[in-house]
């Protein structure tokens, strides 16, 4: 069903949920069972849920005795190779009480630019959903290069949502909603609803690098949300701590209204994401 308003999330047929590194790695790993519980509740009512999860590099860092995110590609790849295994294990352990099985899907930007690879990825994800498996999607950091990386998993989540024609996309953040300015600044006001054709030029969404374990931030979420909304997919941006309320259709976060006449989906990813 089409998710035109936030409340429709409670009955959406297919939902993509994205969570960032800072919400689930290190001392924040306790959130994994919380997020899984909310997804399991949606799964129980019959929804098809895809989880786009960052965190492979951040999860692998302690095993490589790294205190900060590595800057060279080879070490990032090594950390991801270790961390992806641990990350999916943690998700599967949290899913076990709900009798839900996870399926790992690793993608690169090149996979979604190539028609054959894109078709194969879509077919595999559709089959996983049909088998009631929870696809856990992440960038394939062990083979990605600086030139072809998604750059952040907000964009990956938007492209996956378009690929599978999702009804809604939920981008989980560290804050409850987006603001007119960085929330630490005086006069910053929370944003409730953003129309599909809204002019956001007067708003300031801050830097894209937000912590030592991941990339992303408000600006990347806005860009990804606008991309998905232009394709007719409603998008909610809110805190990972509010994931249960978000999937229940409660009035939380910032809602990006889907375009009533969606843009034709291109054959590959959009290179430039405008705000």
Binding residues: 18, 54, 141, 153, 173-174
Q: Is 170 left (phi over 0), alpha (psi -120 to 50) or beta?
A: beta
Q: Which residues contact 132 (CB under 8 A, 6 or more apart)?
A: 43, 100
DSSP 3-state of 273: coil
CA atoms within 13 A on the CB side of 78: 13
Separation CA 214–CA 56 (nearest Å):
10
Tokens read off for 235: 């998008």
CA atoms within 13 A on the CB side of 156: 30
Backbone φ and ψ for 150, nearest 5 degrees, come out as: -65, -30
In the annotated binding site for substrate, the residues are: 54, 141, 153
Residue 19's DSSP bridge partners are 53
Cβ 262 vs Cβ 237: under 8 Å: no
In the annotated binding site for ATP, the residues are: 18, 173-174
For the chain, the maximum distance between any two Cα atoms, rounded to a whole number of angstroms, is 50
Separation CA 152–CA 150 (nearest Å):
6
**Quick one: which of 103, 106, 119 has its CA closest to 153?**
106
What is the dihedral sign for C-alpha 19, 23, 24, 29?
negative
Q: How many CB atoms lie within 10 A of CB 29?
A: 16
């Amino acid at each position: 069903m089409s998710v035109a308003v936030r409340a429709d999330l409670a009955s959406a047929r297919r939902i993509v949920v994205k969570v960032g590194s800072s919400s689930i790695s290190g001392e924040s790993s306790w959130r994994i069972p919380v997020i899984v519980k909310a997804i399991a509740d949606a799964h129980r009512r019959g929804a098809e849920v895809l989880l786009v999860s960052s965190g492979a590099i951040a999860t692998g860092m302690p095993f490589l005795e790294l205190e900060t995110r590595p800057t060279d590609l080879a070490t990032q790849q090594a950390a991801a190779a270790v961390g992806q295994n641990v990350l999916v294990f943690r998700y599967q352990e949290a899913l076990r009480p709900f009798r839900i099985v996870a399926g790992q899907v690793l993608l690169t930007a090149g996979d979604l630019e190539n028609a054959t690879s894109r078709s194969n990825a879509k077919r595999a994800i559709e089959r996983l959903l049909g088998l009631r498996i929870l696809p856990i999607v992440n960038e394939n950091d062990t083979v990605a290069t600086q030139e072809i990386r998604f750059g952040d998993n907000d964009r990956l989540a938007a492209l996956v949502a378009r690929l599978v024609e999702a009804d809604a996309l939920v981008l989980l953040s560290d804050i409850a909603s987006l603001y007119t300015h960085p929330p630490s600044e005086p006069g910053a006001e929370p944003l409730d609803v953003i129309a599909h054709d809204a002019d956001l030029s007067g708003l300031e969404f801050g830097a894209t690098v937000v912590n030592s374990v991941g990339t992303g931030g408000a600006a990347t979420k806005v860009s990804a949300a606008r991309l998905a909304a232009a394709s007719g997919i409603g998008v909610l941006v809110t805190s990972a701590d509010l994931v249960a309320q978000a999937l229940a259709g409660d009035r939380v976060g910032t809602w990006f209204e889907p375009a009533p006449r969606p843009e034709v989906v291109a054959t590959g990813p959009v290179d430039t994401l405008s705000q």
